[in-house]
Amino acid sequence: MTRIKPWHQVAFLFLWTLFVLYPNPYRLAVSVTRIFNPPLEADAVRDMAAKMESDPKEIERFVLKEFPYQYDWLTYNVPWYFPTVSEALAQGTGDCKTRFVVLASIFEALEIPYQETVSLTHFWLTYEDKEETSIERSEYAWLTRDEEGTQLQMPGESFRDVWDAFREAFWDYMPSSRKVLFSMGPILALCIGLGRRSPPTEDPGVKAAESREIPDPGT
């Protein structure tokens, strides 16, 4: 019998968790790439932008109102997803990433200067006279990006705040069926480990008897 090694259990648990959270793993992979290259679509919001004044504060208020906040579990049935502008417009709701990509696209259409800002728990835009809030603070950012380039820094958010935001978005809003499947992963991995078998050992007495020469009855 093939012996199951510990890394087999780790690989099984990783794959189980991945496919429970992301039945289509492409959505996770593309979301990560969009952190560094947001899928802005100025043309998709040009008609919307044409009806607006070039006041970034008013535009942001409009976007916050038109796109009610909703966690990705409820919008896209995955724990974390970075949508395109077209997807955001089709859904009409979403979390900070939805608002981020729509607002940035409108600013692009109206040629309003802005800075993209990303913390461990939030995405937002900074512009002239932008007022900081409890979660939109420059010291919380780990990535900022504007026309001059991208800057990285150590984020200043507390571990408690990051953990609370992660727990709420990841676990509290996870569908019950996915919670059951997610929780089964460690149990199944443990069962696989308990099912490991060592190669059978031979009884020394039996081995000696088999090795003893047996006389040929024909001699």
pLDDT band at 59 (very low <50, low <70, confident <90, very high): very high
pLDDT band at 217 (very low <50, low <70, confident <90, very high): low
* Distance of alpha carbon 57 from alpha carbon 155, whole angstroms: 25
SS3 51: coil
CA distances from 81 to 9, 21, 38, 126, 174 (A): 28, 11, 12, 22, 14
Give me the pLDDT at residue 4, please. Answer: 74
* Distance of alpha carbon 175 from alpha carbon 173, whole angstroms: 6
* Topology of the domain comprising 25-172: C8orf32 fold (3.10.620)
Cβ–Cβ < 8 Å for 78, 27? yes
Give me the pLDDT at residue 5, please. Answer: 82
Question: Model confidence over 94-129: pLDDT tens digits?
Answer: 999 999 999 999 999 999 999 999 999 999 999 999
**Statement: residue 204 has pLDDT above 80:** no
Cβ–Cβ < 8 Å for 59, 125? no
Question: Model confidence over 160-194: pLDDT tens digits?
Answer: 999 999 999 999 999 999 999 999 999 999 988 77
pLDDT band at 41 (very low <50, low <70, confident <90, very high): very high
Which of these, 82, 77, 135, lies nearest to 104 by C-alpha position?
Answer: 82
Phi, psi of 189 (to 5 degrees): -65, -40
SS3 142: strand
Count of other CB atoms within 10 angstroms of residue 49: 19
Give me the pLDDT at residue 210, please. Answer: 57
